[in-house]
């Protein structure tokens, strides 16, 4: 954790519970709307109410249905068209509601309506959906009267009416939403890949990468939710268009929050501003919900605030990446993706204010966001590769720091690290510590050269490795001194020493100059391994036993000569082994 992160910790601790409360409130409003909305059946207009044509429609000025029209809140526009002369079975008329209440009459009979009554006890949220009105063959060639009453200032700028059977109209809707389906599939693939990477990183990976992936997934899920809810796709699954529309507005308002958290991780400059922006960003969805629930205004009326919040986040992120463009490859990737997203978002915003119901704004912004998400995923992969390269380098450095260069076995640093780990572990251990020493190393170096002396040290290390590889850990402690630690209480320490000496004797049979190695050990009772200074005492005892073995070997050499002493030491070991048996 760097200094900047430590400075931001108080802000995070204070803001995090408030953000959870805000998220819970928003979720509660959505849940209430989903459960208690008295929604009309808009998936299919299965039933028709036949009613007389209201008198005010007869006197209203009628116009032929145009390619587009602009309506103001509460102003009723009445249009008419003619049903084709031939109407097949399961025929329907499709029109865009465009946040309006709509009524369709054939002659004096009401064929269908949408949004005339409010499904929620608050607000005027009716959604921007495709209204399917069933048309029987009996109405072929008759005049249709269509009544639009906008709840918001709106423009319907594409062909308002389509005739066909319900199957062909639904296919048309799917084809019309095909670009959105492609975007949705791409983003869902990204989410699944990021989730898989998060699970992998949770087990021994980087906490920073996990946090980055979490913000990435939250960001993509917000985009997915917004794209799905702003399309015609939910109409195939639910009648609750009001809740879908509300979720669309809320998802768009929440969108900059995970992105700000993501930028706070990636960018060094502006980190605090991004964190403040992310935490304060929850004020916007809470405000949308409060205004909607209290009937102050609908989400549509304060959409400009969401646009300003998104614009601020994008522009500030672009400024920050431009200031540290050359500092990191990941920052360069983020800079390019932000520039592309900024262009697409600007085009989408212009298209929205030109035509608020056309849907082209969401399409452009969706394509820009898809490219942006792919680039962010590439950025995460770049960070992940960098992390693993650093981890691998750290492991190499650690291995070098814990390995004796001459012998290739663990060194004194590794020995002390193991003792520190055992001392820190509160679980009692039964420990047997061995200390070995190569005798007369100075004489070998003086008489035969350091190269032969190094070879002798490597030989002792190999003998130690063969004797203790399956039993415990072994080390070169420095110079001519070696050590081993065995934690298995069933291991016989005398047999361990015997196996080590036998490895040395096996080498001495064909050696130009036989080696003499002293070894000693000390055992510890299990409960005493928790005492302070325990391992220092244990090492001293083992070192003293080694010294006594060294004295014994030296006395044999002085008394019988080197060759006879070697034979005598070997014979004594055999006697000790037979006595044990």
* Structure letter (DSSP) for residue 139: G
Structure tokens at 391: 């981890």
In-domain check, residue 317? yes
In-domain check, residue 124? yes
In-domain check, residue 407? no
Structure tokens at 451: 């190269």
| CA 497 – CA 341 distance, rounded (Å) | 71
| CA 451 – CA 338 distance, rounded (Å) | 62
Could you tell me if 67 and 200 lie in one domain? no
The closest alpha carbon to 183, from 241, 152, 227, belongs to: 227
- Block means of pLDDT (10 residues each) for the chain, 581 residues, are 51 78 92 82 49 44 58 79 78 81 84 81 77 82 84 63 79 84 87 86 78 88 89 85 90 92 84 89 94 87 90 88 70 76 77 63 72 79 74 77 89 90 80 92 88 92 92 92 90 91 90 88 72 82 92 74 46 43 32
Could you tell me if 552 and 574 lie in one domain? yes
Phi, psi angles (nearest 5°) of residue 97? -75, -35
Structure tokens at 196: 């898989």
Could you tell me if 69 and 137 lie in one domain? yes
- Strand 77-82 to 63-64 pairing: parallel
Quick one: pLDDT at residue 59? 43
In-domain check, residue 371? yes
Task: Find out whether 162 and 134 touch, Cβ atoms under 8 Å.
Answer: no
Structure tokens at 219: 């960001």
In-domain check, residue 403? no
End position of a domain, from candidates 364, 395, 426:
395
Beta bridge partners of 350: none
Please identify which residue in the block is written with the tokens 């007369």. Answer: 440
pTM of this prediction? 0.65
In-domain check, residue 514? yes
CA 92 to chain centre: 46
- 3-state SS, residue 197: helix
Task: Find out whether 296 and 36 touch, Cβ atoms under 8 Å.
Answer: no
CA 126 to chain centre: 36
Q: Tell me the CATH number at 195.
A: 1.20.1070
End position of a domain, from candidates 165, 190, 220:
165
Contacts 24+ apart (CB under 8 A), 87-91: 87/135, 87/136, 87/137, 87/139, 87/140, 87/163, 88/137, 88/165, 89/137, 89/165, 90/134, 90/165, 90/166, 90/167, 91/134, 91/135, 91/136, 91/137, 91/163, 91/164, 91/165, 91/166
The closest alpha carbon to 463, from 392, 511, 526, 523, belongs to: 511
Structure tokens at 292: 């909607």
Task: Find out whether 483 and 415 touch, Cβ atoms under 8 Å.
Answer: yes
| CA 85 – CA 475 distance, rounded (Å) | 97
Could you tell me if 156 and 183 lie in one domain? no
Structure tokens at 516: 């003499």
Could you tell me if 287 and 236 lie in one domain? yes
Could you tell me if 160 and 181 lie in one domain? no
Structure tokens at 53: 């044509």
Determine whether 297 is exposed, middle or buried from the number of CB atoms within 10 Å of its CB (0-12, 13-18, 19+): middle
Give the H/E segment covering residue 95.
Answer: strand 91-96
Contacts of 550 (CB under 8 A, 6+ apart): 437, 439, 518
Could you tell me if 198 and 158 lie in one domain? no
Task: Find out whether 522 and 548 touch, Cβ atoms under 8 Å.
Answer: no
In-domain check, residue 405? no
End position of a domain, from candidates 111, 131, 165:
165
Structural domains of the chain, count: 3
Could you tell me if 390 and 416 lie in one domain? no
| CA 319 – CA 4 distance, rounded (Å) | 19
Q: Tell me the CATH number at 89.
A: 2.60.120
Quick one: pLDDT at residue 53? 42
The closest alpha carbon to 456, from 502, 504, 506, belongs to: 504
Could you tell me if 419 and 390 lie in one domain? no
Could you tell me if 136 and 24 lie in one domain? no
Domain containing residue 355: 3-35+177-395
Contacts of 573 (CB under 8 A, 6+ apart): 498, 501, 502
In-domain check, residue 449? yes
Beta bridge partners of 154: 71
Torsion of the alpha carbons at 366, 367, 369 and 373, rounded to the nearest 10: 130
Q: Count Cβ atoms below 10 Å from residue 105 Cβ, excluding itself.
A: 23
Q: Tell me the CATH number at 439.
A: 3.30.70.270
Could you tell me if 137 and 260 lie in one domain? no
Q: Count Cβ atoms below 10 Å from residue 175 Cβ, excluding itself.
A: 10
Give the H/E segment covering residue 504.
Answer: helix 493-508
Contacts of 207 (CB under 8 A, 6+ apart): none
Could you tell me if 420 and 539 lie in one domain? yes
> CA-based Rg of the chain, rounded to a whole angstrom?
40
């Amino acid at each position: 954790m760097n200094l900047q992160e430590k400075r931001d910790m108080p802000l995070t601790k204070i803001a995090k519970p408030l953000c959870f409360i805000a998220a819970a409130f928003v979720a509660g409003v959505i849940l209430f709307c989903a459960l208690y909305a008295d929604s009309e059946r808009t998936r299919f207009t299965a039933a028709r109410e036949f009613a007389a044509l209201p008198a005010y429609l007869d006197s209203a000025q009628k116009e032929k249905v145009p390619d587009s029209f602009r309506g103001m809140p509460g102003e009723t526009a009445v249009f008419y068209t003619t049903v084709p002369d031939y109407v097949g079975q399961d025929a329907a008329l499709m029109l865009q509601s465009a946040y309006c209440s709509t009524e369709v009459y054939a002659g004096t009979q009401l064929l269908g309506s949408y949004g005339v009554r409010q499904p929620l006890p608050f607000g005027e949220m009716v959604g921007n959906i495709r209204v399917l009105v069933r048309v029987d063959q009996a109405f072929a060639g008759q005049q249709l009267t269509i009544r639009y009453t906008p709840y918001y200032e709106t423009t319907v700028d594409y062909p308002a009416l389509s005739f066909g059977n319900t199957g062909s109209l639904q296919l048309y809707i799917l084809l019309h939403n095909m670009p959105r389906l492609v975007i949705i599939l791409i983003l869902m693939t990204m989410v699944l890949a990021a989730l898989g990477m998060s699970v992998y990183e949770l087990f021994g990976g980087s906490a920073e990468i996990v946090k980055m992936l979490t913000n990435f997934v939250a960001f993509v899920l917000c985009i997915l939710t917004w794209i799905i809810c702003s399309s015609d796709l939910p109409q195939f699954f639910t009648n609750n268009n009001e809740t879908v529309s509300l979720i669309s507005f809320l998802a768009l308002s929440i969108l900059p929050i995970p992105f700000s958290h993501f930028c706070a991780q990636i960018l060094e400059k502006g980190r605090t501003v991004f964190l403040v922006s992310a935490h304060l960003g929850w004020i916007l969805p809470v405000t949308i919900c409060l205004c909607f629930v209290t009937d102050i205004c609908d989400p549509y009326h304060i959409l400009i605030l969401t646009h300003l919040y998104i614009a601020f986040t994008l522009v500030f992120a672009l400024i920050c990446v431009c200031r540290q463009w050359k500092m990191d490859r990941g920052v360069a990737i983020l800079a390019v993706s932000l520039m592309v997203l900024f262009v697409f978002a600007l085009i989408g915003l212009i298209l929205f204010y030109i035509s608020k119901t056309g849907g082209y704004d969401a399409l452009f912004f969706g394509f820009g966001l898809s490219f942006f998400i792919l680039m962010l995923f590439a950025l995460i992969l770049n960070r992940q590769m960098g992390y693993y390269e650093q981890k691998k380098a750290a492991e190499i450095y650690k291995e070098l720091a814990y390995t004796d260069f001459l012998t290739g076995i663990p060194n004194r640093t590794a020995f002390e690290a193991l003792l520190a780990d055992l001392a820190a572990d509160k679980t009692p251990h039964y420990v047997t510590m061995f200390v070995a020493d190569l005798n007369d190393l100075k004489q070998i170096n003086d008489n035969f050269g350091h190269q032969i002396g190094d070879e002798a040290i490597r030989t002792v290390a190999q003998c130690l490795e063969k004797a203790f590889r399956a039993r415990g850990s072994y080390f070169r402690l420095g110079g001519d001194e070696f050590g081993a630690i065995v934690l298995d209480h069933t291991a016989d320490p005398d047999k361990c020493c015997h196996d080590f000496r036998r490895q040395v004797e096996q080498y001495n049979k064909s050696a130009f100059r036989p080696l003499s190695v002293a070894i000693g050990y000390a055992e510890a009772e299990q409960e005493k391994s928790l005492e302070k200074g325990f391992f220092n005492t244990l090492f001293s005892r083992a070192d003293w036993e080694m010294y006594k073995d060294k004295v014994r070997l030296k006395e044999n050499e002085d008394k019988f000569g080197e060759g006879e002493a070697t034979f005598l030491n070997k014979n004594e070991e055999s006697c000790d082994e037979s006595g044990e048996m």
